[in-house]
Amino acid sequence: MIKLFVGLGNPGPEYEATRHNAGFWWTDALARDLKVSLVPERSYHGFAARAQVNGQPVWLLQPQTFMNLSGKSVAALARFFKIAPEEILVAHDELDVVPGEAKLKFGGSHAGHNGLRDIHAQLGTGDYWRLRLGIGHPGVKSEVVNWVLKKPLKEQREAIDDAIARTLHAVPALLAGQMEKATLLIHTSKPPRPKPPRREPDGGGGGAGSEGGAAPAAA
């Protein structure tokens, strides 16, 4: 079961609305749901909150070390409370997932994400859970840094917020250790409903037209 929910981002108002802070947005939403407040905790180098859910203590954490030192904060709290890596979920921005989609994953590489890279190093393993919040890709590798440190377009931010709201429905399953159920809840989304076929007038020599609406993009 998950005992520590971590959201990744950069501290400071200049970064608050940038794509790289999607993990912060997620933990902010979770804190509202659990009716707790994230407050500065110097010992853990971040903002933290503790909640009781069904008698179980649950921690929320937002490292304030800047992204590339996120592991310093995560490891400090996890070691103090003896939380194992497999009991940690890290919510972070994901270039390879489109805005509006989210993916749950256990283990694997950091794939170049500086926050995950440092968590790997500080925990000594990659065997923790990740909630990959799609922010999309600029299409050119050289533009990635600028992309993640800029605000998303209005429709992209709305799609990301919708995904965050949807993934929160999986939190009870995550807390219960029902990871398959949580995965189904998080990965199931509602693509745009296709438009009904257009009917041609009788005798016009034409059948039903093709369905409108594009297929959802592959993640």
Contact 131, 115 (CB under 8 A): no
CA atoms of 7 and 76, how far apart (whole Å): 15
Strands of the 102-106 sheet, one edge to the other: 39-41, 46-53, 56-63, 4-7, 88-94, 129-134, 102-106
Please compute the mean of the pLDDT values over residues 154-166 and round it to a whole number. Answer: 96
pTM, to two decimals: 0.84
Residue 190 confidence (pLDDT): 56
Given a cut of 90, whether residue 204 has pLDDT beyond it is no
Highest mean pLDDT of the ranges 91-100, 103-112, 197-206: 91-100
Q: Which residue has the higher pLDDT, 200 or 154?
A: 154
Contact 92, 111 (CB under 8 A): no
Residue 112 confidence (pLDDT): 84
Residue 218 confidence (pLDDT): 34
The catalytic site residues sit at 20
